[in-house]
Each structure stands twice: as C-alpha cells, then as structure tokens.
Structure 1
Amino acid sequence: MSTTERPRILVVGGGYVGLYAAKRIMKKMRYGEATVTVVDPRSYMTYQPFLPEVAAGSISPRHVVVPLRRVLPKAEVLTGRVTSIDQDRKVAVVTPLVGEAYELPFDYLVIALGAISRTFPIPGLAEQGIGMKGVEEGIGLRNHVLEQLDKAESTTDENVRRKALTFVFIGGGFAGAETIGEVEDMARDAAKYYSTISRDDMRFILVDAADKILPEVGPKLGTWGKEHLESRGIEIYLGTSMDSCVDGHVVLKNGLEVDSNTIVWTAGVKPNPALARFGLPLGPRGHVDTAPTLQVQGSDYIWAAGDNAQIPDVAARKAGVENAWCPPNAQHALRQAKVLGDNVVAGMRGFPQKEYEHSNKGAVAGLGVHKGVAMIVMGKMKIKLKGRLAWYMHRGYHGMAMPTWNRKIRVFADWTLGMFLKREVVSLGALETPREEFYEAAKPAPAPAAAAAPAEKAKAS
C-alpha cells in the first residue's frame, strides 16, 4: 500500500458496483486528482448470473471472474476486509488476509459490499447446505453432483444410492430455478456415461415458500417455467419450506421427508452484516439508507449502491408506485455504479449530484441448454419469450453485460465450443483437498513395535 497526500476515494467491496464505480471514477477524474483504493477479501470480481452455467460446466470458472488489479491498473487494490469505519476521523480499519490490521485514512467513501446468502436457523443447514454466491460454490456444486453419480454407480447399498441421487434445491427465484435447470441438464447428460444410472433413477426437488417460482418474469412466464421444469421430472413444492436437514435427512413443512447428500440453498440474499459496524443509517432490512443521488442519508462524502443499499426507484415512483425500491440485480448495479462514479467526481469538485433513475428493461433466465424465459420491456409494451429464443436472449444479454472484452470473448468462446463438443462430465473434487494424497505419502511412519518396547520399559522403571 502506498502513501499519498492526494485525496483518497476508498471503495469498500470489489464486486459489480465496486469494480465499475472505481473504473468510472478513474475514467472521469484528472491525472493525479485523487487516489482510488479498492478493498475486498478476493482479488477478483465474480459475475454471479453465470454461476448456474459454471455449475453445469457450460462456462469455465476462470472466465466468469475479473481480476481487479488487471482491470484497475491505476488503483490501489488491497486484499482484505474493512472491519470498522470512524466517520469523525475519516479513517477505516483494514484487516488484511495476513498480518495485523491497520488504519487507512480516506476523504470519500463508497460502500459496495454487496449481499450474502439469506439463511435461517434450520438444524443441519450450516453443515449440509451448499450456497450459490461465489465461483467457488459453483465449482464445488458441479464436482459434488458428479461425485454423487460416482458414488451411486459404485455402491451396492440401495439407501446410499438413493440418497446420492436425490438433489434438493431450496428457493425458486432466479438463482434457484436457473441452478436446478442447469444442474439437471448436466446430470441428464452425465448419466449417459454410467451403465447403472439413468435420469429416472435421479430425483430433483425444488422448494419455495412462495406460491410461484421466477417471480421476476411475471406470473405467466413463471407458470410456464414451473410446467417446463416439471415436464423434465423435477418435483416442485410451493408454499412450503424446510424444517431441518440434519445428516441430509430433509424434512419439509408439508410433511415430505427425503434423504439427500445435496442440499442447495438459494433462498434469497441479505445485505452484508458488516454494514452494522460502520455506523451508517440502515433501513429495516439492514440496507444502507441512501438518497436518489446514491449518497448515504445525512452525508455528503459517502455513497452506496448495489445489493447492500436501499435506493429509491425514482422511475417507479413517478409511475405511481409508492415506496418502490430498486431490486438487487445486475441491471441496476451496472447503471448505479456509473451514476455513483460520476457523483463521486462531481462531489469532489463541488458540483451538483445527479439522481439515479432507471426504468426496468425486463428480465431473462436460462433453465438449461436451449431452455429459458425472457420478459423484455419496450416502453409500455412487454414482450414475453420462452424456450430457445428466450435462451438466446439470456445468453446475449448477460454475455454483453460481462465486464471487459477479454472475458466477453472467453465466455462466447466457451459457448461456441459447446455447440460442437460434448459437455465435460469429470469431477475434480480432489481440488478441494489437493494436499491430502501427498500428506498420506509423506507423513511419518509409526514406530515399529520392537523399537517402541524398550522406551516403554524405561518409562515404567
């Protein structure tokens, strides 16, 4: 970390908003006008809408992450966490991955911590659940599912086999529906290479507490999505939730009980709990309370956007929707980051702030290869698509929204190769414990019994 006498703009979080806000700030400000410092526990940003395709093996995991130092070469990128903020002194405490925490002064502050999985105190969830917020979880889910097929093929115990081939997904929003659709697609393909496993041997279950899935695309497309998934043999239980999953024994409120080694949790997100330690005004659900200008309420040098912010939806309120807030999605995050970056530079120069206003352009979701739903908003007209055409819209939109041309090209290359080459169905579960085999080979051998005997006798005497 370098020291500087220039004003410091501290960006807390290197996700979608943090990356694009920092990039916008550096593009707009003059040479040497300020120092931009980005702090995040990871040295890369993850494009989360592609995690279901990572789990299905349609996209290489390395292609959905963007290295911060490469994209922000003129910024300071610190790998660590901001653990507290002293607003009076304008100092943040940074805890690096290794070493002791230190204080970092700042003049302007951007809060872009994003969100974490919203969980509940369900017995067994922490031990058994698999989230879908990071690329590591996407890779882990893919390896885990393929390992279950390996287990089922190799065992003679029918209970072990049934538990391995039962897959439970909690949450029917975009993340849940897309993930189960992609993973079921992958498992169906993979089963072709197993002599004793077919798709009929597998059981996929989707659970949601609401009365519908895919609420983001509207009731008609949501109903079509439900019927489509059910036509592929996926069981969907609505209006219910999971009571417990201790040792993989899943108990639902509707009375259904199943044993499963795979419990995927995608039941929404909540703001990062670290926000509570920053002394910022928070809304009822823990989001940072911001004005339409993305400035934190009561402050003229702190801005917030993305999943960790409660931002008034100006366009919806003008249309007569009271108390409308911007939903936490990539569509808003990208546009908020640009307005935020402009406002930080304007605030630094003493110019007026601009309000964030954006009308919803629709939503797209992929449910596996050549399967999807899409709702495109054009003025007052809504175009609803399903099937292959919607899938093309999903890939086209998110492919172009992927940050940097480097990553766009790599993602489209993965898709192009997937048109001509068969899907890879190999599990690399050993990646999670790469040293285990070497440890077994290198650990000290136990002392021979004959050599140990004299020592024991001496000890006794």
Structure 2
Amino acid sequence: MPKILVVGGGYAGFYTAWKLEKHLRAGEAEVTVVDPRPYMTYQPFLPEIVAGSIEPRHAIVPLRRHLKRTEVITAKVTYIDHAAKKATITPDVGEPYDFEYDHVVVTGGAVSRTFPIPGLADQGIGLKTVEEAVAIRDSMLDNFAKASHLPPGPERDRLLTFVVVGGGFAGIEVFAEMRSFASALLKFYPQIEFDDVSFHLVEAMGRIMPEVSLETSHWVLKDLAKRGALVHLDTQFASCVDGNIELSTGEKFESDVIVWTAGVMATPQIVRHTDLPIEERGRVVTRADLRVGTDDEPIEGAWAAGDVSRVPDLTGGGVGGYCVPNAQHAVRQGKLLAKNLVAVLRGEQPKDYIHKNLGAVAGLGLGTGVFQSGKIAIKGFPAWVMHRGYHGLAMPTWERKFRVFWGWWNNFFLGRDIASLSALQHPRAAFEEFAARPKPPAPAEDKPENSSDEKAVEKKADKPVTKSADKAPAKKAPAKSTAAKKPAAKKPAAKKPAASKEAEKDSADNVA
C-alpha cells in the first residue's frame, strides 16, 4: 500500500489529509500527518481571540478528532531526503527515527518574518498561533489592572501604550480589535479614561491594507483616527530595547505590548533541511499542479502547498506571478492537492491550480468591518456581518462551526470575555507557593571549645583502652568532660591548674 506523508497540519496539510480520507478507497493508501501541534489553527480568528470575542479552543481543529483514518504524529520533521524517499521524525520524547514514504506533501506553513531590530526578539510577540493571541489579550488585561492602581505618570503611560508593527490585513485587524477591546474595558476600570490609552500602528509603506482599494484604506484610517488610534505611515520601527520604542521619524515612547505582523516566511525548519528544490525566498519550488519541481521537470512523489510553497498564480493577480501566502490559497490548494494525488495514484493526470480572488473582508472591531471586491466596497456594520458570516462558514467541520457561532450568540447577550489567564504561563506557581516541604536538619548545638578539646583527648585515650583489659581510667574521662561543661563562674579559679594536671596525668597513664 502506498504511504503518503503530510509534513505539517496547518491549513493546507489538514485539508489535504481531510480530503484524502474522502477520495481514497479503502486500502488504497496510508496517510500520515506529522506536526508539532496536534491541531490546526484558523488564523483569521486570532484577532478576535485577542479581543475576547472567541474562545481560543474554538479557533482550532483537533487533528486526531477529525482525521479518523489518518495517523497523526505529534513531532517535528527535521529532514526530508527525497532521493531516498525518507524523512527524519524527531519527537519531543525519544530518539529520532526514519519514516519511509512513497509520496511526501510539504505543507509546513510559515512563521513570522522579523529583522535584526534591537530589542525585538526580547520584547515583541507575533500573531501566528493561538498561544500568542491569548498572551496578547492577557497582557492587555493585566496592564489595565496594574495601571488602575497607579497615579498619572510615565509608568502608567507605559502600561497603557500598545504597539502593532505592520499595516497588512493581519496587522490592521488585530490593531482595530485591540482598540475596540480597550474601549470596552474602560467601564470596568473607572480610574482609566479614554485618552489615557494609546495605540500606535507602525507601517513602513505609505498606505495600509494593499489588498483593498486606496479609497477603502483611507476610510479605515479615518475610522481608526476617530477611535483615538495613531497610524505612522512611511515609518520604520527602529528599536524597542527594554520597551523603549524608537521610530525612524525620531519619535520615542514606551510600551509593554509590541505585536509584530510585518510579514511571514516559509518555515525554516522545513526548507533548510531537505534536498527538494528551494527558491531564493526560501519556498519550495512548486508547479501549477502542486507537484514539486519546474514546468519541464516535475519531481515524482513530491508535492507542496500553502505558505511554504511557491505556486504560480495562473490568474495573473499574484505578486511576482505567484500566489500570495494567505488562508484562501492554502485551503483551496490543499483540497486540489488531495484530488491530484489520488489522480496520480490511479494513473490519471493532475489539474492546475487556478483561483481568482473574489474579494477581501476584514473585521475592525465589534460592529465594524470592511469588504472589497473589485470596485465594490462595503464598510461599517454590514461588512462586519459579512466578515463573521464568511469566516464562520469557512471554519472546517460542522462541530467547530457550531462552537464558533454559539460563542458569538452568547457574547451578544453576555458580552465579550474579559478574564485574564496569565497565570497559565506559570501554572505551578500557586502550588509551589503553599506546598509543604521537608524541614531542614537541626543545626548542631554549640559547645565550649575546651569541651571539644577534652573529647578529642578522650577519643585518643579510648582507642588503646578498648584493646586493654584495664578499663578503669576510661571511666574517669566522661566525668572530667562533664565537669568541664559547667560554667566557669561556679568553679574556683585555683582548681583549674590541678584539673588540667590531673587530666594530663590520666592521659599519660592511659597511653602507658
């Protein structure tokens, strides 16, 4: 039976395995998915997780629950040797081992692309995982709680200043959701006023959201300005050492929460450890039919899709002639890849990937959104409804759809969640604080120096006595030692030399 190895369980990887289960006949092939995380993350929901509008667990799809006929391995693929059709799997526990396959599907996804900006690696946080979204939300809640106890000043201003770097779709969405969330928190913290909270978006280009028209992006800027958010265009993020922000314009301020959304790159762990062809930007060279290789020479048994791949955009709308790394392409490529792989197994020809983007929709906080399709632009509340409807239905599996829509319905009546779970970062802290521990051993009692000296003499004297039949002198030593422990004030000073001479005499007798 052919073995199919899917490297990565994100959008493309999950949909490939999910659709393979649908299209493969019983016993036609074995499918294995390897990913360090046992779930797929629906990333368009991450901004709403930050804003407390979606329960974090509802935005993920557990692989083992929904891939019923696929083997799921929670581990990393650390090398792909396609010449030998072998991959090295490295689990968290145990030794690495080789996995032989007939077809490999590379869908390792992407990670945040950063630059060597001073302080960024220590102070910044990305927005690619559920864990990062939860951490941003908890940081905002903790900062509000701390700031409510402080008088106006630099320390308070630092806690209530939030920065987002990157003006693409992800950056604008999380920036707007954070601003909306902060405004909703004010009623719970009467000590903090609207003007006390500062939001800064830093974008190196002269505009935001290149996926929409220039007019629509201007409307978004005006909407953000009404909410008191500052957008720095044509500005470089220069430094953030210890939270001290420096911009290329010379502006300086302090912040504890710095969210980085300025681009992504193919997962280095995958593309740097394989003999598959990699292009200059670090993506797997992929044909339009999703097979790895060039148009003239496909590589047999190797496939790729999603952010880790460089797939030609046959509609002509892609950047540089290739599909941009986003969820729409990853999902659709995964579905087609499954069909093409099954077709090749059955001796049929695969089809090329062609998808024309019909539009873009973004949520800008509770009740506000924007939609763009060609020259048609919808703004405000209708666009927000479209945003939720589209992404709610795009969430894989009906089980996860129900959880998401049910959460939105509850929030409509109960309001968004404002509970901070920052203690999850150190879950054993409470247990360690009150846990009973063994008592340390009691320290030895302090004794006068002359007592220790006399005991040393007694030990030396006792050693030969144990071999001798005469034990009478040995019985006198403890008595003298006991006498030596008595306070000096109660003993006549004149008797001290006599006692010393007598001890020396007994010691000499014992030695003799």
| TM-score (ref. length: structure 2) | 0.84
Aligned residues, how many?
445
Q: Which digits, 9 at most, give the CA deviation of each residue in 1:260-283, with x for residues without a partner?
A: 111111111111112111122122
- Alpha-carbon separation, structure 2, partners of 1:166 and 1:182: 15
Task: Indicate which of 405, 414, 421 corresponds to 1:412.
Answer: 405
Q: Deviations over 1:87-126 (max 9, x none)?
A: 1211100001211111110000100000000101111111
Q: Report if the CA contact (8 A) 1:43-1:67 is conserved.
A: yes
Percent of matched pairs sharing the same residue: 49
Give the alignment partner of residue 12 of structure 1, picking from 4, 7, 11.
7
Equivalent-residue separation in structure 1 for 2:417 and 2:335 (angstroms): 38
Aligned pair 1:293/2:286, yes or no? Answer: no
Is residue 160 from structure 1 mapped to residue 155 from structure 2 by the alignment? yes
* 1:388 positional shift: 0.7
**Distance in 2, Cα, partners of 1:322 & 1:374:** 21
Correspondence for 1:428: 421
* CA–CA distance in structure 2, aligned partners of residues 452 and 106 of structure 1: 67
CA displacement 1:279-298 (0-9 Å, x = unmatched): 22122211111111011104
2:105 to 107, 110, 116: 110
Matched with 1:373 is: 370
Match of 1:3 in 2: none
Aligned AA (2:276): L
Helix, strand or coil: the match of 1:145?
A: helix
Could you tell me how far 1:435 is from its partner in structure 2?
Answer: 0.4
> 131, 138, 154: which one pairs with 2:133?
138
Aligned equivalents of 2:108 and 2:215: distance in 1?
34
- C-alpha distance 445-263 of structure 1, shift in aligned 2 (>3 A): farther
2:228 to 233, 237, 241: 233
Give the unaligned 5+ runs of structure 1: 1-5
Conserved? CA contact 2:110–2:265, under 8 Å = yes
Displacement of 1:300: 2.1
Q: Deviation at 1:445?
A: 7.0
Superposition deviation, residue 385 in structure 1: 0.7
- What is the aligned counterpart of 1:32 among 18, 27, 33? 27
Could you tell me how far apart the structure 1 residues matched to 2:154 and 2:59 are? 37
Separation in 2, partners of 1:322, 1:204: 31
Q: Report the TM-score, using the length of structure 1 for normalisation.
A: 0.93
Partner of 2:384: 391
Q: Could you say if the C-alpha distance between residues 163 and 443 of structure 1 is closer, same or farther in structure 2, counting changes exceeding 3 Å?
A: farther
Please list every run of 5 or more consecutive structure 2 residues that lacks an aligned counterpart in the other structure: 457-512
Instruction: Check if 1:364 corresponds to 2:361.
Output: yes
Q: Deviations over 1:37-59 (max 9, x none)?
A: 00000000000000000010101
Q: Is the 8 A contact 1:294 1:305 kept in 2?
A: yes
Q: Distance in 2 between matches of 1:210 and 1:453?
A: 75
Structure 2 counterpart SS, 1:361: coil
Give the conservation status (yes or no) of the 8 Å contact 2:291–2:303.
Answer: yes
State how 1:122-271 maps to structure 2 within 5 Å: 122-156=117-151, 158-271=153-266
Q: Radius of gyration: which is bigger? A: 2
Runs of 4+ in 1 over 3 A off after TM superposition: 443-448, 452-455
| Local SS of the residue matching 1:344 | helix
Cα distance between partner residues in 2 of 1:295 and 1:218:
34
Of 327, 332, 348 in structure 1, the residue corresponding to residue 329 of structure 2 is 332
The residue that corresponds to 1:451 in the other structure is: 443
CA positional deviation for 1:217 = 1.5
8 Å Cα contact 1:16-1:45 kept in structure 2: yes
Distance in 2, matches of 1:134 and 1:253, equals 29
| Residue in structure 1 matching 2:46, options 27, 43, 51 | 51
Please say which of residues 232-241 and 218-227 is displaced more in the overlay: 218-227
TM-superposed CA distance for 1:195, in Å, is 2.3
Q: Is the Cα contact below 8 Å between 1:214 and 1:225 reproduced in 2? A: no
CA RMSD of aligned residues (A): 1.9
CA distance in 1, matches of 2:218, 2:272: 38
SS at match of 2:145: helix
